[in-house]
A and B are shown apart, each in its own frame.
Chain A
Amino acid sequence: QQKVQQSPESLTVSEGAMASLNCTFSDGTSNNFRWYRQHSAKGLEVLVSIFSDGEKEEGRFTAHLNRANLHVSLHIREPQPSDSAVYLCAVSIKNTGYQNFYFGKGTSLTVIP
């Protein structure tokens, strides 16, 4: 069973400083990785998806994937108070006709003005 762990559990940064979030997964056959954001009691918003080792940038959000280390990270450039939310790491494994998606518990990010 895939295990997805995120760190830190919570993170406070000042507006404009870089925010870095980490995610490790246990199944080396995982083939797709993405970061979601969830504002309080709301649905999940896709931020960035990454499928191969290296870096993928979407606006102020950059994901780094290192499959050998079973690690994917998210860096938020110039975070703003509106970025305060829970960030969820999702790892998926392809199955016949669908993908199995596994989520971490999330990192709660607070951005201070």
Chain B
Amino acid sequence: AQTIHQWPVAEIKAVGSPLSLGCTIKGKSSPNLYWYWQATGGTLQQLFYSITVGQVESVVQLNLSASRPKDDQFILSTEKLLLSHSGFYLCAWSHQSGNTLYFGEGSRLIVV
């Protein structure tokens, strides 16, 4: 069975500080990977997707970047956090050309 793990579960960070959120998928080779962001009370918004290792496409940047250093790993990062980065970040995977997203448990970020 496939499992998806996100870290950290929650973080409180200062404006201007760096951020790195991680996501690992086990039990599935060559998945499509996605990062979503959800502001409090807001719509789930796709940020990035990746079809293969080393390749990441941006949908909405929000002064964030993403990388896929390994087949099973997806990283979301920024060098300088903004207050507007606060929210809930969800990593998801799908089969290649698959039509269902499977989500991790999410990472809660509070920027102060």
Contact = CB atoms under 8 A, between A and B. Distances in A.
Interface stretch (B12-20, B44-52, B74-82): B44-52
A103 B47 CA distance: 13
Contact of B49 (A32, A44, A98): A98
Interface string A61-101: 00000000000000000000000000010101010011111
Nearest to A44: B103
A43 interface: yes
Nearest to A31: B99
Which of B51, B99, B103, B104 has the most A CB atoms < 10 Å from its CB? B99
Interface residues of B, number: 25
B27 interface: no
Given A88-B44, A105-B43, A97 B100 contact: no
Interface in A2-42: 31-32, 34, 36, 41-42
Given A43-B90, A44-B90, A98 B101 contact: no
A104 B38 CA distance: 11
A25 to B, nearest CB: 13
Interface string B90-101: 101010111111
A31 B45 CA distance: 19
A39 to B, nearest CB: 10
B88 interface: yes
Interface residues of A, number: 26
Interface in A32-62: 32, 34, 36, 41-46, 49, 51
Contacts of B96: 97-98
A42 B97 CA distance: 25
Given A42-B106, A44-B92, A92-B99, 19 more contacts: A32-B99, A32-B100, A43-B104, A43-B106, A45-B103, A46-B102, A49-B99, A49-B100, A94-B97, A97-B51, A99-B97, A99-B98, A100-B46, A101-B34, A101-B46, A101-B101, A102-B46, A103-B45, A105-B42
Interface of B: 32, 34, 42-46, 49, 51, 88, 90, 92, 94, 96-106, 108
